[in-house]
Structure 1
Amino acid sequence: GYWSHKKGEGHDKEEVLTEYMLLLDNRFRREAELALVCFDEGGLGTGINVMRFVQMNKPILGFYNPVIKKHGVNVNNILQLKLEYPTLVTLHQYHDWSDIQGSVVAYLRNFKKP
């Protein structure tokens, strides 16, 4: 498949894998109507992916637990998303996993495609 074709051209395996994953990720983002994100273990990858959805004008429903500050997650950066992109980013603070289900159901019930 993809690797066999690129290997013959002398490409690095890690670069080819990254290129292939980017193709799949881009297709996924194009097809997605919105992104559901839990920021509890947010890091660079989560931030990059969230900004890719924002760049594509895709709505984001995000969740964060304020306790995550203790684990090095910058909650202020998460909250800034809502301030900068109020029409795209909806954030909910939660304290227990059971808080999330009701928020997702309510959001999806009122969701209109962009």
Structure 2
Amino acid sequence: MVEALAARRAVMFVAELCVFRVIIEGDCSRVIAALKGFGRCRTLFGHIIDESKRIGGTLRSCLFQHVRHEGNRLAHCLAKKAVLSADTNVWVEYLPEDVEDVFHSDLP
């Protein structure tokens, strides 16, 4: 359920930023499969999936892609940083210095 909520928040966030082409990556194959599926989602978290797909449908291009846990190191690093912070931080044009090494190690 947490992964579905995170995907919905990601789609809402890019819509708020007026980003019209986006790829949402996640390491939970069940959630990504549900987001890529056709029709209504019949899982316990189906209403969240359906809302995410509806919001994604308002964008020019919204793709959902599964990545292995190892390929998602930067997201996990940023999530840990967010949990430890009392503030809501958004990094749009730069990364915090303490996660730049993780970013560069994820590049092909």
Structure having the higher helix fraction is: 1
Task: Please confirm whether the aligned pair reaches a TM-score higher than 0.5, indicating the same fold.
Answer: no
For the aligned pair, the TM-score class normalised by the smaller chain equals 0.3 to 0.5
- Which one has the largest radius of gyration? 1
Which fold has the larger relative contact order, with Cα–Cα distance below 8 Å and residues 6 or more apart in sequence?
2
Q: What TM-score, normalized to structure 2?
A: 0.33
